[in-house]
Amino acid sequence: MTLKVLIGDDLAQGAIDIFKARGIEVDIKVGLNQDQLAEIIGEYDGLAVRSACKPNAKVLAAGDRLKVIGRAGIGVDNIDIPAATSKGVVVMNTPYGNAITTAEHAIAMMFSAARQIPAASARTLNGEWPKKDYVGTELFAKTLGLIGAGNIGSIVADRAQGLKMKVIAFDPYLTEERALEMGVEKVELNDLLARADFITLHTPLTDQTRNILSADALNKTKKGVIIVNCARGGLVDEAALRAALDSGHVGAAAFDVFIEEPAKDNILFGAPNFIATPHLGASTMEAQDNVAFQVAEQMSDYLLTGAVTNALNMPSISAEEAPRLKPFAVLAEKLGEFAGQVGDEGFDAVEIEYEGEVCELNRKPLTSAALAGLLRASMSDVNMVSAPSILNERGIDLKESTTCDSPTYESLIRIRVRVDGKWRTVAGSIVNDQPRIVEVKGMALDAKFRPFILFVNNTDKPGFIGALGSLLGEAGINIATFNLGREEEAGDAIAMVGIDQDISDDVMKKINALSFVRYAKVLRF
C-alpha cells in the first residue's frame, strides 16, 4: 500500500517535493475544520500541519491508518497529544528550524521596548517631532534575565553577550557545565527577578511555567524592568502585567504571544509602553522554509525507516541508529509478548534488565517496544507510542537496570513481571542475527520465536517428552522445534515446543491433565 500524507496547512513547495521524491503520495487540503478532517483522515498515514489545522481527539479516533503528525514549527497547542499517544500516533515538531528567527525577534522586541520605537515612529509619521518625549534605555552593561535557557534562550544569550549585556538564567534543567559553556550565570527565579533589567521568556507552557511571572513575581522585579515574551501566551499573568505597566513598576513590555489568539482584544492593549506583534516570532522566509523542509524529512524518515526525530510523545531514534536498534526492538517486543501471555492474569510491576553491549544503545525505544509487546496480550490497539502512557495510567510500576557485562551473550534483555506477588522471567538475545529465547524462569535454553509455541512448565521426570509428543501426534499437531531447560534433575523444568498450528482447547485440557505438567499454554507471536 502506498504511503499517503495529508498536508493540512500551507507548506513550502520544497517540502511537498521531499515527500514525493521519497515515494510518498501527497494531498493538500488546507482550511478543513475538524469534522471535515475527521471524515478523510482515515485515508492517510501522516498529517503535516502548522498552527491552523487542529487535529483533536475526534480526528485522531478516525485516523485508522495515521502513524505520525508533523508540526512545522515549535508549538503543538493545536494538536491533542494525549489523544495521539493513546491512538499510538507519533507527534513531531521542528524546534530548531525557526530558533534563530525567534531569538532575533526577541532581541528586536528588546530594542523596540527600550527605545519606544513603535510609538516614536507612529507619532513621527503623523507629522510630529516628539524627540523630547522619548528618552530610551541602553542595553549595554544591563543584566538580561533568561527564563528558559534551551535552544532559543541560548541563542538570545549569545546575541545579548554580543551587545555586552550580562546574562543570568533560570532553568531547572540547566546544568552548571552548560551555563559555563553558554557564558551565563545560573540563578534561582527570585534572584533573577531581583537583579534583571530585562527579562525574556523562552520556555514551553506547562503546569509548572503557567503564570511564572505572576503578580507576586512581578512585584519582586526591579522598578523599570522591561519584559519580553516571544515564547508562549500564559507564561505571564496579563492582568497583573497591565497593573504593573499602569503603575510604572514595569517600565515596558513587548509581547508576540498571548493567552488567547488571535488577540484582537486584550487587557494589555492600550497600556503605556506596551508593544505587540501578531505571533511573528517564526515569520521569516528562511524559518518558514526550514521548518517545512524539516517536518517533511522527519515524517518521511519515520514512515519509511522508523527513525524518530523531535517527537513529543516517544523517544527519538536517529536514522543512523535505527538499523542497529531494530533487531533489539524486535527482540524486546517479542519478549514482552511472551511475558504478557504468561502473565495474562494481570501484573502489577515490570522490570526490564539490559546486559552487555545493548546497554550502550538508546534503550528508551527498546523499553517502549517491550511494553507494547507486554500489553498486547490484553489489548490489541497498542504500540510503542501508546504503551508507556497506558502502563502509567494503570499504575503499574516500571523499573529499568543495566549491567555492562553479560556472562554468556554479547547482549541480553530480561523482562520480569510480577503476577500475584510472584515474578515471572524471560530473557532473550540476538543469535546469528535472529531473536532467541535464552532463559525462562532462570533456566537456560535456546529457542526460536515461532508463530505458535507450546510453553510447558513441568516436573523433570522420565516419560514427559514421550507423553507430550504422543498426545500432540494423536491430535495431528506437528512439532517443529523442541527445547528444554531445567533447574536440576527431577526438579522444575520447562519445555518450549515450536508447533506448526494452533492447539484446540480440548487438546490443551489433556496436556494440562498430564501428571508431569504444572502449567501449559500456547503462546502466539
CA–CA separation, 40 and 28 (whole Å): 12
279 is catalytic: yes
Q: What is the pLDDT of residue 344?
A: 66
Question: Domains of the chain: which residue ranges?
Answer: 4-95+286-305, 99-276, 320-448, 450-525
Map residue 319 onto helix, strand or coil.
coil
What mean pLDDT is predicted for residues 222-249?
Answer: 97
Q: What percentage of the chain carries pLDDT values higher than 70?
A: 99
Q: What is the pLDDT of residue 75?
A: 80
CATH superfamily of 4-95+286-305: NAD(P)-binding Rossmann-like Domain (3.40.50.720)
Q: Which of 105, 279, 414, 416 is catalytic?
A: 279
CA–CA separation, 406 and 514 (whole Å): 37
Domain 320-448 listed as CATH 3.40.50.2000: no
Question: Is residue 175 scored above 70 in pLDDT?
Answer: yes
CATH superfamily of 99-276: NAD(P)-binding Rossmann-like Domain (3.40.50.720)
Mean pLDDT of all residues belonging to the chain: 93
Q: Are strands 492-499 and 479-486 parallel, antiparallel or unpaired?
A: antiparallel
Question: Is residue 394 scored above 70 in pLDDT?
Answer: yes
Is residue 91 within 8 A of residue 311, CB to CB? The reply is yes
Question: Is residue 132 scored above 70 in pLDDT?
Answer: yes
Q: Which of 39, 181, 260, 261 is catalytic?
A: 261
261 is catalytic: yes
What mean pLDDT is predicted for residues 356-379?
Answer: 90
Question: Is residue 173 scored above 90 in pLDDT?
Answer: no
Q: What is the pLDDT of residue 27?
A: 97
- pTM for this entry: 0.67
What mean pLDDT is predicted for residues 115-142?
Answer: 96
Residues 6 or more apart in contact with residue 347 via CB below 8 angstroms: 396, 417, 418, 419
Burial group, residue 510, by CB count within 10 angstroms (0-12, 13-18, 19+): middle
pLDDT in tens, 397-431: 999 999 988 788 999 999 999 988 889 999 999 99
Is residue 47 within 8 A of residue 64, CB to CB? The reply is no
The lowest-confidence range among 11-15, 85-89, 134-138, 381-385 is 381-385
pLDDT band at 488 (very low <50, low <70, confident <90, very high): confident
What mean pLDDT is predicted for residues 318-338?
Answer: 89
Q: Which three cell numbers stand for residue 481?
A: 522445534
The lowest-confidence range among 105-114, 188-197, 429-438 is 429-438
- Same CATH topology for 4-95+286-305 and 99-276? yes
Question: Is residue 9 scored above 90 in pLDDT?
Answer: yes
Q: Which of 232, 363, 416, 436 is catalytic?
A: 232
Question: Is residue 371 scored above 80 in pLDDT?
Answer: yes
pLDDT in tens, 96-112: 888 899 999 999 999 99
Question: Is residue 356 scored above 70 in pLDDT?
Answer: yes
CATH superfamily of 450-525: ACT domain (3.30.70.260)
